[in-house]
């Protein structure tokens, strides 16, 4: 159902025009994206930030926060125009997930009042003095943190920009796409606005507020762990290792904090964090040096060579050589399904699982199509990315193609949940 709604919204945005209907569907796409589980950790953060930012009008700070979030998406449109969509790919790297994990961890400590950042928390004793500029920049931060959840709707907006710029950078399409991204951000920010406004209907502060603070802090720390876990999975490690690292890091931080007998809580935590950061950096440096020396040893290699002509995932055979794929397709008359894959792409990994758990997809493509997996490190990936028919590859992954036996494109999508559309396309061809 969600996939069908996304496809419908994308079809409404496929043209270069902008109308009242486009405005509506852009905002609707943003609202749907705001309801995705990966956006949830920002809700308690928003509640924790805005609970102290009261003014004469209870909606003023939430509204400024809301505008800041939407403006961040307008900035994404500008950056995408100048970088060819590379920024969206950057947001999906495991290193980015680690950065977000650390940021959420620090925010969790701040909500629990173990750290004090005037810019984030404001003056709790005199919240009327909190500036609107601070609130606006915090809204920008919320937009940045929600950006890894960018889905097919956002990709469909940015694809238009890439398609318009085949002959170089042009100011009008960049500004036009930036406007579309801003409208999308307005839709995405609606839940944040509602949380900010109606959250102030709570009773005045008391002992119960301390419990709420701790609950919010624990929620934020949990989501900090989820980002770390995602980074470890993207790096190819077992997710259980992320649990051990997170637990060890937290336990060491608590130990360092308790060693400080004097000083205010936020001062002791700040020093403990600095020490923990120094220790962690030293360990990472040693591991990197060890890895570099290991690679220099004769016979050692940690790069994916992909020399095998076929990869096996469950009961599916994924071909790796383009010449072999086209040869088999011509001999059998079967269509070709291409999965463009990268280790840093979370949804690529989710789709790989889906191909085995979705029985109808699995049997249809196993028996009626030639499966071809193209990694972002393969030379042929750049050939596809430079093809003007596939501007989606300049935005990010995942991306899927279905070609007929002669190599003609029949279907393309960046929505890994559109299993229905993929199955129907294959069945029509056969």
Give the whole-angstrom CA distance, residue 14 versus residue 5: 14
pLDDT tops 70 at residue 403: yes
Confidence tier at 369 by pLDDT (50, 70, 90): very high
Residue 416 scores a pLDDT above 60:
yes
- Interval 45-54: pLDDT, tens: 777 777 766 6
Residue 38 has pLDDT above 90, yes or no: no
pLDDT higher than 50, residue 117: yes
State the pLDDT at residue 127.
47
Mean pLDDT of 171-175: 71
Report whether pLDDT(203) > 50.
no
pLDDT of residue 19: 67
Distance from C-alpha of 142 to C-alpha of 189, rounded to nearest angstrom: 9
Least confident of 42-51, 154-163, 264-273: 154-163
> What would the pLDDT profile of 123-153 be if each residue is shown by its tens digit?
444 444 567 887 888 888 888 777 655 555 5
Q: How does strand 336-341 pair with strand 370-375?
A: parallel
**Assigned token pair, 174:** 């960049």
Per-residue pLDDT at 32 exceeds 90: no
Report residue 159's pLDDT band, with 50, 70 and 90 as the boundaries: low
pLDDT recorded at residue 424 = 94
Find which of 93-97, 99-103, 156-160, 325-329 is predicted with most confidence, using mean pLDDT.
325-329
Q: Does the pLDDT at position 84 exceed 60?
A: no
Q: What is the pLDDT of residue 408?
A: 94
pLDDT of residue 194: 86
Interval 234-252: pLDDT, tens: 777 877 888 999 999 889 9
Closest CA to 339 of 348, 329, 330, 350: 348
> What is d(CA 155, CA 314) in angstroms, rounded to the nearest whole number?
30
pLDDT band at 322 (very low <50, low <70, confident <90, very high): very high
Quick one: pLDDT band at residue 88, thresholds 50, 70, 90?
A: low
Look at residue 160 and tell me whether its pLDDT is greater than 50: yes
CB-count burial class (<10 Å; 0-12, 13-18, 19+) for 41: buried
Across the range 64-82, mean pLDDT stands at 83
pLDDT at 36: 66
Q: pLDDT grade, residue 208 (50/70/90)?
A: low
Instruction: Please name the residue ranges forming H helices in 112-170.
Output: 118-121, 132-146, 152-164
**All structural domains of the chain with their residue ranges:** 1-120+132-236, 310-429
pLDDT of residue 342: 84
- Rg of the chain taking only CA atoms, in angstroms: 24
Q: Which pLDDT belongs to residue 138?
A: 82
Highest mean pLDDT among 76-90, 273-287, 377-391, 398-412: 398-412
User: Please, what is the angle between helix 171-188 and helix 60-83, to 10°?
Assistant: 140
Residue 24: which pLDDT band, with cuts at 50, 70 and 90? Answer: confident
The values of phi and psi at residue 410, to 5°, are: -115, -30
Q: Which of 4-18, 19-33, 274-288, 297-311 has the highest mean pLDDT?
A: 274-288
pLDDT at residue 183 is higher than 80: yes
Q: Give the class (CATH, top level) of 310-429.
A: alpha beta
Q: Residue 120's pLDDT is what?
A: 47
pLDDT at 224 over 60: yes
What pLDDT does residue 126 have?
44
On average, the pLDDT of the chain sits at 77
Compute the average pLDDT of residues 280-305. Answer: 62
Q: What is the pLDDT of residue 305?
A: 45
- In three-state secondary structure terms, 288 is helix
CB contact set of 227 (below 8 Å; sequence gap of 6+): 97, 98, 100, 101, 104
Q: Is residue 64 within 8 Å of 139, Cβ to Cβ? A: yes
Q: Which two tokens stand for residue 142?
A: 């919320």
- Residue 21 reports pLDDT greater than 90: no
Is residue 355 scored above 90 in pLDDT?
yes
**pLDDT score at 207:** 62
């Amino acid at each position: 159902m969600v996939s069908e709604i996304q496809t419908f919204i994308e079809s409404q945005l496929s043209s270069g025009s902008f109308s009242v209907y486009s405005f509506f569907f852009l905002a609707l796409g943003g609202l749907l994206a705001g309801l995705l589980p990966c956006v949830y950790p920002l809700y308690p953060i928003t509640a924790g930030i805005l609970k102290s930012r009261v003014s004469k009008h209870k909606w003023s700070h939430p509204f400024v926060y809301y505008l800041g979030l939407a403006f961040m998406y307008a900035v994404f449109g500008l950056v995408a125009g100048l970088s060819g969509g590379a920024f969206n790919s950057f947001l999906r790297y495991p290193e980015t997930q680690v950065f977000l994990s650390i940021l959420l961890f620090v925010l969790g400590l701040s909500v629990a009042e173990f750290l004090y950042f005037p810019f984030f928390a404001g003056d709790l004793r005199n919240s009327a003095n909190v500036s609107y500029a601070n609130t606006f920049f915090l809204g920008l931060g919320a937009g940045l943190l929600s950006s890894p959840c960018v889905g097919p709707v956002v990709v469909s907006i940015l694809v238009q920009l890439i398609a318009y710029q085949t002959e170089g950078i042009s100011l009008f399409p960049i500004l036009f796409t930036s406007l579309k991204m801003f409208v999308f951000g307005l839709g995405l920010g609606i839940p944040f606005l509602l949380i900010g406004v109606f959250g102030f209907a709570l009773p005045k502060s008391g002992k119960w507020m301390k419990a709420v603070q701790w609950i919010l802090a624990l929620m934020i720390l949990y989501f900090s762990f989820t980002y770390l876990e995602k980074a470890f999975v993207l790096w190819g490690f077992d997710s259980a290792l992320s649990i051990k690292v997170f637990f060890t890091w937290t336990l060491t931080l608590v130990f360092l904090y308790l060693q400080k007998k004097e000083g205010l809580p936020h001062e002791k935590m700040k020093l403990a964090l600095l020490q923990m950061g120094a220790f962690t950096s030293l360990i990472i440096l040693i591991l990197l040096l060890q890895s570099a020396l290991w690679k220099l040893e004769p016979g050692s290699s940690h790069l994916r060579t992909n020399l095998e002509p076929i990869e096996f995932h469950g009961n599916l055979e994924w071909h790796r050589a383009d010449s072999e794929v086209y040869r088999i397709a011509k001999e059998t008359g079967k269509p070709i399904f291409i999965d463009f894959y990268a280790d840093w792409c979370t949804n690529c990994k989710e789709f790989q699982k889906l191909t085995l758990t979705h029985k109808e997809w699995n049997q249809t493509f196993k028996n009626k199509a030639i499966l071809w997996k193209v990694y972002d490190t393969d030379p042929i990936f750049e050939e596809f990315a430079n093809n003007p028919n596939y501007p989606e590859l300049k935005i990010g992954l995942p991306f899927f193609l279905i070609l007929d036996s002669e190599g003609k494109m029949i279907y393309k999508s960046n929505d890994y949940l559109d299993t229905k559309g993929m199955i129907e396309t294959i069945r029509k061809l056969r």
